Structure 1
Amino acid sequence: MSFLKSFPPPGPAEGLRQQQPDTEAVLNGKSLGTGTLYIAESRLSWLDGSGLGFSLEYPTISLHAVSRDLNAYPREHLYVMVNAKFGVEAMFTAMCECQALHPDPEDEDSDDYDGDEYDVEAHEQGQGDIPTFYTYEEGLSHLTAEGQATLERLEGMLSQSVSSQYNMAGVRTEDSIRDYE
């Protein structure tokens, strides 16, 4: 893995609180190997036996939790999600722009919009009409068969993303592995 780097482990000067040997690091469902996890006041670090590893400063960690859901991952583990919001908006905008370059040929209505587009600036100045929105109860009865199929597909995607959250990043210790073997 190219993102693993060699660096010294955090020491007492960095407020080392916990040092856990025999810890397996897992990224995107793939093991990085067994090493030592260092929990310091300044950063969370993991180093394998050769001195290669990763280090995360706390502002880059958006979530950490103990996961005991054996349906999501086969063992209890410490789940760590890295905060990537610094680039999320720029990545989303770039993807939207690139997707617009490749319209769906099956979508016949994409260029045939006959209605007036909603003008946010005009509405903010009190000059625009508010478009029609449906509440949850009303909206489902107004869906076409294609709309129902799309809704079911999106709900399925959401439920799958919950069960595969462990693919983001995870750390589990040899102690937790032995507990569940």
Structure 2
Amino acid sequence: MVERISELPSELTRQYTAEGTQLFYQRGPSVGSGTLVVAHDALYWWNSAAGEGLSVPYPSIAIHAISTDPASFSQPCIYLQTDGGDDYENDDEDDDEGDGDGADGNLRGVSWPPSEVWLAPADPSSLQAIFEALSACQAMHPDQDASDDDEELDEEEAEARLDHLDSVFQITSTSQFDAMTDDRFDDAEDDGEEGAEDTANGDLHE
């Protein structure tokens, strides 16, 4: 289960670290900017200014994926679906300190535990490395209950989960993301250069 932490463990075997990573819950506003640490034992996000953070054991991560579709989320990010809940809307059973929207900019203002988390690094080009580090570390900690849970899912519930994922983000495979460039963030000048190349190529075929 996702857990709040009051300090980042001093001794961690780090697979990857991304400074300036924005944390979002349940499509609410950013909780803040912190350090994302993909460690061998768990995934950590730490806000040193607020003195708080979270840890996510890998067996608690049901799905992790790269989301780059601006129609699904405002910025490129890592999407996590955790074991916080299956209905994607928490009842805030364990937290009576906030209203569940994260508007106060800290971990006490959100429903807990979250079932969905978005992690948006300052450098979108690091998403590939974060994804691969997550995949490698999660493989070290297989969820022993995963197969039993899958067997308990009926067809209707499985379809509901897939429909939800389709509505939230566009999954990008590592091979697809590897082929992408940062052209989508470039200005119109780059688009003009590409258009000129297309025109030149078209002339060659005539």
What is the TM-score normalised by the length of structure 1? 0.47
Higher relative contact order structure (alpha carbons within 8 Å, sequence separation ≥ 6):
1
State which structure, 1 or 2, has the greater radius of gyration over its C-alpha atoms. 1
